[in-house]
Chains A and B, each alone.
Chain A
Amino acid sequence: MRKILVALQLIFVSLATPLHAQDLPVNTFKPELLANANAILREEITEINILSIDKMLVKNRRMVTVLNEKGDQHVQAYTFHKDNIKILDQQARVYNSSGEEIQKFKKRHFEDRSYLSSSEMYGDSRISYLNYTPVGYPYTVVFEEEYETNSTVFRTSWIPLDTYNLSIEKARYIFKNPQAIPFRFEERNMYGLEVEREATATGLNYAISNVPAFTSEKQSPNLSQIQPRLLVALDEFSLVGVPGSGSNWKDFGKWQYEQLLEHDAQLPQETIEKIEKLTANAESDREKAKIIYQYVQDNTRYISVQLGIGGWVPMPAASVDELGYGDCKALTNYTRVLLESQNIPSYYTIVYGGDRKHLDPEFPSMQGNHVILNIPQEDQDIWLECTSQSIPFDFLGRFTDDRYVLKLTPEGGELVKTPAYDANQNLTRTEAEIRLNEKNFTADITRKKSGIAYDKIYGIASIKEKDQKEYYKEQWGYLGDFQIQKLSFINDRDSVKFQEKLEIEGKSFSRKAGNRLLLPVNFLRPTVYNLPRDEARTTPIEIARGESYFDTYRYYFPQGFEIESIPEKVELKNEFGSLFIQTSLIEAEDGPALEVERKLIINQGLWEPENYKAYYNFLNRINSYNNQKAVILKTTKT
């Protein structure tokens, strides 16, 4: 309703000033474009002109109407540049809500700064941007940019909607290829959209209209999996002036292998001897690789410096050896060279790190933002993440698991998938003995974690004890005020298992109800899923990784406590997972006890948006069963 009101308001604004000379027509927006939108891309024309294999001219004109403060980011009146990307022109005009031009910016008014990503220490990427603070909403910015580059391997694809909460009225893409250099193009997620298409050997002309905004929803796939895109790549191209070619992964990977990797790495003799000595008694390549990986972890750290071609080519292994630091490329290459010194072949592998994002398997082109190392083995390949000083050998964790990656081998590129960790592997096994007393309780807790559960916890071993204790107090806030008497960890990096052992003492975690006590039988609750009701779910539901939680709790009671009732058995199972809880009175070694067996399994998967309600209900039921209580009658007065 409110969205329609905004639409009406805009109509009203445009009617209210009919006599004023307008610089920009104030459109009335379709309600579907206002839904979830903080800004509307009114019109964008992107023109890419391939002058030659190593010269590309890009012109872009972007008109964005910003509806509110959160929409400011969508103006995107900036151009990234560096040595090989030369800005020819930039200008912008700003219009107020009635379409009158209020400010005009020429190229010289743009501010120029170095542009560092958060993990970068130093780099030569720069940004030339419009520093404009809006004074009212809605407002419209028309931004024009023109730049030239000698890299034709990037920035040829068209991704008009690269962010949430932005809708598109119209966006056009023109690809000019006058020399008819062979190129490939493929559409992604354009089905069902209003698309104009025109394709010839010398170019493309595409347009899409009326694309509603995506909204970021919990547990949805990465935006790259759902946004409309037109992938475009030249078969012959250049990277910062280095020519290349390739129309399939094999050739493309071969080019990268040959041009971007270090082939005659020279390590100091001293280092090689050291490695030889360290690995002298190792019995297998796997064992040797493990020693070498440990050596890298002990002697390097991650520091990112991206300068010139260094943004694409790893720093030489000898420099890493000397400085003891490097970025992902440098550290991966260094590890590769060390392995090579012991005749163990390994492959530099390109990946998208972070939330799961695949290299598009069907569209060979320059992709990825991170590299890892692959060591081929007869049975199962070894995978190494070389930027971490603490992650176990042959364990990738959430950053690069289960996705398409490109191995660079002397024979060419090879598209493979990194290992996935399934629900059985991602296990948290908890055992706790809880002793209730008149005024307080004590508990001995043992938790064992593996797979992704390991990945999430192992860092705790290296933080300060005070922070470790605070972590548990935050996690288990529902236990009330408690003290941690003993705390110990076993980080078994060899088998990727982590054990936490705690002894705690607290006042009370049960609720008083007159002369009864309500005792929550699920002593520790797994991460509480808290999804919004979201009746208009638009994106698919993704459970990125399966998980299992197997728990056993035993409660012991003092004299004068009588169990009035225990919860009924729970058995719940569907496509999303299963829950089993059984509470029973047992005769344990230490006397009568209440025992709770609990098994929760969450399945990995991808479901259509219409399944959201069922998933939401499933999680709600888990949550309410998590709150099951036994009733205890206090028969003696204290």
Chain B
Amino acid sequence: MKNSVLFILILLLGFPINAQNYKFGKVSEEEVAQTEHPTHKEANAAVLYRKQEVFYELHKQTGLTLITQIHERIKIYNKEGFDWANKEIKVYKNSSTEEKVSSIKAYTYNLVDGKLQEEKLNRRDIFEEETSRYRKTTKFTMPAVTEGSVIELEYTIRSPFITSIDAVPLQDMIPIDKLEVSLKIPEFFGFKVHYNPRSPLIFPIEQSQGSFNYNYTQANRPRSLTGSTKFERKKIQYLLNEYSIEQEAIPPLKDENYVDYLKNYAAYLRLELQYTKYPDSPIENYSQSWEGVAKSIFDDSDLKKEIGITNYYEEDLDALLEGKKKEDKVDLIYNFVRDKIKWNDYVGFQAETGTRKAYKEGLGNTGDINLMLISMLRYAGFKANPVLVSTRSHGIPLYPTREGFNYVVAGLELPNGVVLLDATDQNAGLGELPKRARNWQGRLIREDGSSGWLALLPQVKSVNANRLDFQVQDDFSIHGRVLNSYYGLHAKAFRDKHGKTSKDNYVEILEKDKGNIVISNLEIHNREDKGENLRQTYEFNLENGIEVINGNIYLKPLMFAGLAENPFKENERNYPVIFDFPSVEKNTVNLMIPKGYEVSSIPEDFESILGEGAGQFIFKTSLAGNFLRIETIMDLNNIVYTSAEYEMLKEFFAQMVEKQTEAIVLTKV
């Protein structure tokens, strides 16, 4: 008796009674009746079930095909979740072949008068669109969607690109209740499986081996002329590596402001091709090391060849450099390429147009432009090499692979180190990379094919120094002068933002948020001299800039130069805060005390340190005669502050804002 109770208990544990049926079409009334997600009440929708199967098919005529089958069951809780009823399936294509979406089957389930009702997606409501040169999108929206609907869909993607398996998503913007992933890879391919290290979610993968069968019919010709041909069914068995994941209750990815690329933080599996081993062919190895990756790119992506072609520009370049001093030549060549060949917004380390054609047409991708730059620098006698880069949106590769890079810049070797050049950015100077290329590290490939790492993140702090001199007029308006100096990447950031703005519009931008102000005599020095420091001066008249109450004057120490609000408003943060570059901001304000007034109170000097050397803020005042000087320095050493440092960073900014808004009080003598 005791035993049988135990037996029943075990049975119950092993087979939960309310087991959901995940077979296609077996949507339950309970699922449709559910009104909110049991654990994530705020979710507008949830993935009740998602199954992704990746496997290969082998046919005599077509060879290997990579197949991805998706089965999804999505619950929509409210109107805000309706977007989940619109589906876009994006696939790749190139000029010769493309991936194909097929076998789309989709239903919407609703409860109508307590009864489960299904509505089928019609074939004619499925649309296909050419999204870009390399992308195609299949679009559809589900019929009869209301609050509470469950939609279920299935589709297959057949891909001729057999050596690249897309990253398998393990997380979404909505909760996933149950996820099943299965990858079946025949022995022809060696893939290594990686998790996204930036996501804390890691699920166990079960690995096993099976067999991959190739069935075909062989025709056996008879020896004699009279006999008939015999057909024989044959089967070859290959080894199959299987990976599977089964996971429940996957939390949604949290959405936050100021995240570089949210999808960089989602859980996913990425598959790295290590080798191919086709029947009767030798093993071909793919990029086990970064050295190997760099070498293979250098050897077979025409980098060497494109850098080697010089005849198309020789004449022009000779004329440009004739009689010029060696130290001026780099500048001349760089400016020449940057201004002559326009970037067509396509990234890539290969010269897509071809350097010669790009030169002629004045248009090319990053490969065209920067390989040409390297070629010209070498032609002029400099030591210049390609540096492979992964852009910010491309992320940080998890393992050595050609796909880890998608960009190239030039590395110029000078006695005191390597200077990076990117001629695709109209506002960059020597040694300045655009934001997109300031990511991770770069791989410099030397002429002999050997390679090494190079830091791409700016190592030097860029300075922005502002000086503001002002005095209070008899009518309590303020008249003053401003000098803003921008160094390094601050100067580049200024050019990126305002380089194309007309002077009138720029004055309007400057006047914005400064109150009742009139700005005059604006001068900007070195606006066009890319790579040079930039300086801006102007005068202003400001009304209502100070407060006069009961004969006392109250004013903000930094006037409009200060930070009015803390940019960090969220209470907590899950992802790092990423700044563009390490920066120092200095403000110096000189105020002439108006006649008949004296200083009654000044904010106390203040200093705060962010973390251990991650940053510093200093606030200092000094009174000399009738001049009051206020100085502030904000020093941010890091580019990235982790979510653990967020609280600290927010507090650092809060103190800074408080100090900058504390009033100076002047009273009548």
Q: Is the CB of B516 within 8 A of A624?
A: yes
**Is residue A194 contacting chain B, with contact meaning CB distance below 8 A?**
no
Q: Is A532 a contact partner of B512 (Cβ separation < 8 A)?
A: yes
Q: At the interface, yes or no: B508 with Cβ under 8 Å from chain A?
A: yes
Alpha-carbon gap, A477 to B569, bound state (A): 8
Apart from A470-B569, A624-B515, what are 7 other A-B pairs with CB-CB below 8 Å?
A: A113-B130, A303-B141, A324-B119, A480-B566, A532-B508, A620-B515, A631-B552
Q: With A2-B503, A114-B130, A512-B663 given, is the CB distance from A483 to B342 under 8 Å?
A: no
B508–A133 touching, CB < 8 Å? no
Asked whether A564 is an interface residue with its Cβ less than 8 Å from the other chain, the reply is: yes
Offer 23 A-B interface pairs, CB within 8 angstroms, sorted by A: A113-B130, A116-B129, A121-B127, A122-B129, A136-B362, A323-B144, A465-B42, A470-B257, A473-B570, A478-B564, A480-B658, A481-B569, A511-B556, A511-B661, A512-B663, A513-B664, A518-B663, A530-B513, A532-B512, A533-B518, A534-B508, A620-B516, A623-B516
A-B CB proximity, top 8 nearest:
A514-B601, A135-B362, A513-B663, A324-B144, A624-B544, A477-B565, A122-B127, A323-B143
Residues of the A chain whose Cβ atoms lie less than 8 Å from the Cβ of B521: none
Cβ-based interface call for B363 (8 A): yes
Number of interface residues of B (CB under 8 A): 63
> With A and B bound together, what is the CA distance between A70 and B119 in angstroms?
48
Inter-chain contact total with CB atoms closer than 8 Å: 144
Query: When the two chains form the complex, which single residue of A390, A473, A516, A623 contacts B665, counting CB atoms closer than 8 Å?
Result: A516
Please state if A69 and B550 are interface contacts (CB–CB under 8 Å): no
Q: Are B344 and A629 in contact (CB under 8 A)?
A: no
Contact with B along A285-312 (1 / 0, CB 8 A): 0000000000000110101010000000
Interface bits B517-559 vs A (CB < 8 Å: 1, else 0): 0100000000000000000000000011001011010101000
Query: How far is the CB of A627 from the nearest CB of chain B, in Å?
Result: 7
B649 in the interface (beta carbon within 8 A): no
B413 within 8 A of A: no
> Which residue of chain B lies nearest to A481 when distances are taken between CB atoms in the complex?
B654
List chain A residues, Cβ under 8 A from B144.
Answer: 322-324
Please report the C-alpha to C-alpha distance between residue A46 and residue B147 in the assembled complex, in whole angstroms: 51
B334: shortest Cβ distance to chain A, in Å? 18
Q: Is the CB–CB distance between B511 and A532 below 8 Å?
A: yes
Inter-chain CA distance A274–B267, complex, in Å, is: 46
Q: Does any Cβ of B come within 8 Å of A389's Cβ?
A: yes
**Chain B hits for A298, CB < 8 A:** 146-147
Contacts known (A114-B129, A565-B550); A478 close to B516, Cβ less than 8 A: no
Task: Given the known inter-chain contacts A136-B362, A298-B147, A299-B146, please indicate yes or no for A464 contacting B42, CB distance below 8 A.
Answer: yes
Cβ < 8 Å to A, chain B residues 570-602: 570-571, 600-601
Smallest distance from the beta carbon of B558 to chain A beta carbons, Å?
13
Assembly CA distance A113 to B341 (angstroms): 27
Interface string of A466-491 (1 = CB under 8 A from B): 10001001100110110100000000
A478→B565 contact, CB < 8 A: yes
Separation in Å of the A300 CB from the closest CB of chain B?
Answer: 8
Is B82 an interface position by the 8 A CB rule?
yes
Give Cα A21 to B80, complex, Å: 63
Does residue A515 face the partner (Cβ distance < 8 Å to B)? yes
> Which residues of A lie under 8 Å from residue B125 when comparing CB positions?
305, 323
Is B79 touching A474 in the complex (CB atoms < 8 A)?
Answer: no
A530 to chain B, nearest CB (A): 7
Contact A514 to B362, CB < 8 A, known contacts A69-B500, A324-B146? no
Chain B residue contacts of A508, Cβ below 8 A: 658
Most buried by B among A298, A481, A532, A627: A481
| Interchain CA distance A464-B564 in the complex, whole Å | 28
Give the residue of A2, A462, A516, A623 whose beta carbon is less than 8 angstroms from that of B80: A462
What 1/0 flags go to A602-638 for Cβ under 8 Å of B?
0000000000000000001001100101010000000
Chain B: residues with CB nearer than 8 A to chain A? 42, 78-80, 82, 85-86, 108, 119, 125, 127, 129-130, 139, 141, 143-147, 257, 341-342, 344, 361-363, 500, 502-503, 508, 511-513, 515-516, 518, 543-544, 547, 549-550, 552, 554, 556, 564-566, 569-571, 600-601, 603, 650, 654, 657-658, 661-665
The reply to whether A518 and B342 contact each other, CB–CB distance below 8 Å, is: no
Nearest CB to that of B361 among chain A residues?
A135
* Alpha-carbon separation in the docked complex, A299 to B564 (Å): 47
Q: Judge whether A134 is part of the interface by a CB distance below 8 angstroms.
A: yes
Q: Which residue of A lies closest to B659 (CB)?
A: A512
A564 to B552, CA, bound (A): 12
Given known A-B contacts A121-B141, A133-B363, A463-B80, A627 and B86 have beta carbons under 8 A apart: no
- Taking residues whose C-beta sits less than 8 angstroms from the other chain, chain A's interface range is 35 or more
Check B143–A322 contact: CB distance below 8 A.
yes
**Nearest residue, chain B, Cβ from A464:** B42
| A474 lies within 8 A of B569 (CB) | yes
Residue from B79, B508, B515, B663 in contact with A389 in the complex, judged by beta carbons closer than 8 Å: B79
Q: A70-B500, A390-B79, A474-B569 are in contact. Are A134 and B663 (CB under 8 A)?
A: no
| CB of A325 closer than 8 Å to a CB of B | yes
- Pair A322/B119 contact, Cβ less than 8 Å: yes
CB distance from B153 to the nearest CB of A (A): 16
Known: A299-B146, A481-B654. A530 touches B500 (CB 8 A): no
Question: CA–CA, A567 to B554, complex, Å?
Answer: 14
Q: Does A515 lie within 8 Å of B601, measured CB to CB? A: yes
User: In the docked arrangement, what's the CA distance between A151 and B603, Å?
Assistant: 73
Other-chain contact of B79, A462, A465, A470, A620 (Cβ < 8 Å): A462
Which residues of the partner chain A approach B603 to less than 8 Å between Cβ atoms? 512
Q: Which residues of B contact A113 (CB under 8 A)?
A: 130
A68 at the interface (CB under 8 A from B): yes
Which B residues lie within 8 Å of A325 (CB)? 141, 143, 145
The chain B residue with its CB closest to the CB of A135 is: B362
A35 to B, closest residue via Cβ: B504
In the bound complex, do residue B544 and residue A564 qualify as a contact, i.e. CB atoms below 8 Å apart?
no
Q: Kindly provide the distance from the CB of A567 to the nearest chain B CB, expressed in whole angstroms.
A: 8
For the complex formed, measure the closest distance between the CB of A511 and the CB atoms of chain B, giving whole angstroms: 5
8 Å CB contacts to B: which residues of A502-532? 507-508, 511-516, 518, 530, 532
In this complex, what residue of B is CB-closest to A467?
B255
Q: Which residues in B have their C-beta under 8 angstroms from that of A69? A: 500
A2 contacts B554, C-beta separation under 8 Å = no
| Cross-interface CB contact of B550 among A483, A514, A564, cutoff 8 Å | A564
